[in-house]
């Protein structure tokens, strides 16, 4: 078989690139060894957010009386929770397959192996092999969970996010190793489901990639919900104790032990290039990712790579943008990905979303800046929702012409952040942002008030003492 473009990997980077390729007039073949949709749709973003919604509904029941509603009895049915999650995942993966077929992308189910600069061997499900030749090849094979070298990390009951998504029995007590996005999201979900959750984080803060003020505030709110967080700590060893597990933890030279039912390892992800034969055809890479240039071309001309497999920001929407741009560059278009405006959301209780520079990054760059914060406790819509914890924080240049970063912790932060992305992409001044009328009552008014605060024009928060 001969084609214009071979895409290896059917995740958000690969399938988007394949569809964009056909839009540009290319004949495209996509190879996927597992289910279409990749980690995001099958074992990442979508199933996690489905469980997050279940946890949110459960939280409504817990606080029903605060809304004036009496609920006499309710319980979590984990079997039905899993069934709903699988239904959502199947709907979306089937949708991806339908989109690929509608765009006349040829789908090959099997394992890919690069055998030359223009040829890929595919091992099909029945064990047979076929060779596909393509003018260009795009590697979008994604990433997989990585486990740190902790003694006992391979014991039964020590799980990754993939196994955590398939739980049929809720652990009474769980230790989560790693306070990054994955660990924090599962901590929130399992805590709402009823598990006793302890997070062990090696660094001195959870979600270290986020503005420290927001991270600190989230830590306090998670503590308030009963989630225990141990920072600046390390799990030295895991061992069995009867039917359970014990985590040996060291902090500042002191040792503690935590007995639990499960230990979730969520310390990060690593590129997934198993069986691709990168070394065999001379593609440069290391443990951080495949090396690419500004066109996403690898060290072998005609072979490109995007998404998690090249390292960088491991987010589904970043992979999708890179996939589109890589294919557009193949045909001569001069598009690019704006890595300065990547929205990042963490689905916990409350949600956290961010775009642009944190206050720490602004300081590191020696930029003159001003900050304005508006608390959701002063937002009418948040109060009607009984969800008023958190704030909108805007960091702008001292001359108020440029917004450097926006950080939101609170209700619907994952949706609200895109107003910030749009105004920053349009390079609106703070004055222009503050002049945009917002509907009332809406959560988005918190963004408006924060922007007005930079100009000392906020109506719904007291003047800042200077």
Q: Each residue of 364-394: b (16+ CB within 10 Å) or e? A: eeeeebbbbbbbbebbebbeeeebbbbbbbb
Rounded to whole angstroms, what are the CA distances from 16 to 13, 41, 112, 316, 413?
A: 6, 13, 19, 11, 26
Q: How confident is the model at residue 1 (pLDDT cuts 50, 70, 90)?
A: confident
Interval 235-284: pLDDT, tens: 999 999 988 999 999 998 899 999 999 999 998 899 999 999 999 999 99
Task: Please check whether residue 144 is in contact with residue 269, taking contact to mean a CB–CB distance below 8 angstroms.
Answer: yes
**452 CB-near residues (< 8 Å, 6+ apart):** 372, 434, 458, 459
Question: What burial class does residue 275 get, using C-beta atoms within 10 Å of its C-beta: 0-12 exposed, 13-18 middle, 19+ buried?
Answer: middle
- Alpha-carbon gap, residue 344 to 208, rounded angstroms: 13
Interval 292-343: pLDDT, tens: 999 999 999 999 999 999 998 999 999 999 999 999 999 999 999 999 999 9
Q: How confident is the model at residue 110 (pLDDT cuts 50, 70, 90)?
A: very high
Q: How many residues does the chain have?
A: 466
Question: What burial class does residue 127 get, using C-beta atoms within 10 Å of its C-beta: 0-12 exposed, 13-18 middle, 19+ buried?
Answer: exposed
Q: How confident is the model at residue 466 (pLDDT cuts 50, 70, 90)?
A: low
Q: H or E stretch including 324?
A: helix 316-330
Catalytic (active-site) positions: 440
Interval 47-87: pLDDT, tens: 999 999 999 999 999 999 999 999 989 999 999 999 999 99
The pLDDT score that the predictor gives to residue 242 is 86
- Alpha-carbon gap, residue 133 to 116, rounded angstroms: 9
Could you tell me which residues are beta bridge partners of residue 173?
196
Interval 337-379: pLDDT, tens: 999 999 999 999 999 999 999 999 999 999 999 999 999 999 9
Is the confidence at residue 464, as pLDDT, over 80? no
Interval 170-191: pLDDT, tens: 999 999 999 999 999 999 999 9
Q: Domains in the chain, start-ordered, CATH in brackets?
A: 2-144+270-339 (3.50.50.60), 158-267 (3.50.50.60), 350-454 (3.30.390.30)
**172 CB-near residues (< 8 Å, 6+ apart):** 195, 196, 261
The pLDDT score that the predictor gives to residue 133 is 97
């Amino acid at each position: 078989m001969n084609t214009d473009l071979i895409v290896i990997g059917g995740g958000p980077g690969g399938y988007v690139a394949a569809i964009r390729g056909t839009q540009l007039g290319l004949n495209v073949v996509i190879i996927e060894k597992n289910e279409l949709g990749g980690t995001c749709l099958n074992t990442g973003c979508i199933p996690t957010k489905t469980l997050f919604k279940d946890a949110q509904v459960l939280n409504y029941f817990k606080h029903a009386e605060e809304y004036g509603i009496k609920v006499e009895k309710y319980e979590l049915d984990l079997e039905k929770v899993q069934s709903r999650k699988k239904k959502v995942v199947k709907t979306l993966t089937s949708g991806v397959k339908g989109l690929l077929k509608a765009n006349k992308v040829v789908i090959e189910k099997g394992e890919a192996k690069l055998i030359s600069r223009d040829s890929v061997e595919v091992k099909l499900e029945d064990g047979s092999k076929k060779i596909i030749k393509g003018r260009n090849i795009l590697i979008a094979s994604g990433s997989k969970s990585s486990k740190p070298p902790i003694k006992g990390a391979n014991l039964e009951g020590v799980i990754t996010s993939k196994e955590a998504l398939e739980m049929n029995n809720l652990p009474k007590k769980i230790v989560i190793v790693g306070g990054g996005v994955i660990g924090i999201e599962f901590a929130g979900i399992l805590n709402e489901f009823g598990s006793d959750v302890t997070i062990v984080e090696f660094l001195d803060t959870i979600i270290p990639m986020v503005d420290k003020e927001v991270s600190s505030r989230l830590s306090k709110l998670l503590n308030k919900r009963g989630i225990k967080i141990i920072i600046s700590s390390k799990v030295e060893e895991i061992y069995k104790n009867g039917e359970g597990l014990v985590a040996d933890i060291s902090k500042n030279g002191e040792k503690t032990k935590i007995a639990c039912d499960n230990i979730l390892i969520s310390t990060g992800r690593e590129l997934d290039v198993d069986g691709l034969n990168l070394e065999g055809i001379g593609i440069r890479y290391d443990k951080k990712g495949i090396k690419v240039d500004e066109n996403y071309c690898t060290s072998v001309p005609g072979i490109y790579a995007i998404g998690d497999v090249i390292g960088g920001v491991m987010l589904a929407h970043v992979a999708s943008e890179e996939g589109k741009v890589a294919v557009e560059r193949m045909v001569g278009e001069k598009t690019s990905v704006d890595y300065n405006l990547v929205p990042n959301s963490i689905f916990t209780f409350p949600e956290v979303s961010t775009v642009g520079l944190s206050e720490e990054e602004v300081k590191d760059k020696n930029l003159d800046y001003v900050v304005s914060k508006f608390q959701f406790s002063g937002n009418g819509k948040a109060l009607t929702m009984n969800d008023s914890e958190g704030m909108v924080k805007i960091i702008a240049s001292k001359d108020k012409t440029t917004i450097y970063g926006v950080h939101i912790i609170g209700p619907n932060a994952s949706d609200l952040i895109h107003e910030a992305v749009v105004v920053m992409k349009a390079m609106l001044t703070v004055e222009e942002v503050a002049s945009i009328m917002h509907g009332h009552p809406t959560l988005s008014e918190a963004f408006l008030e924060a922007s007005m605060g930079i100009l000392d024009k906020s109506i719904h928060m007291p003047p800042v003492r200077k």
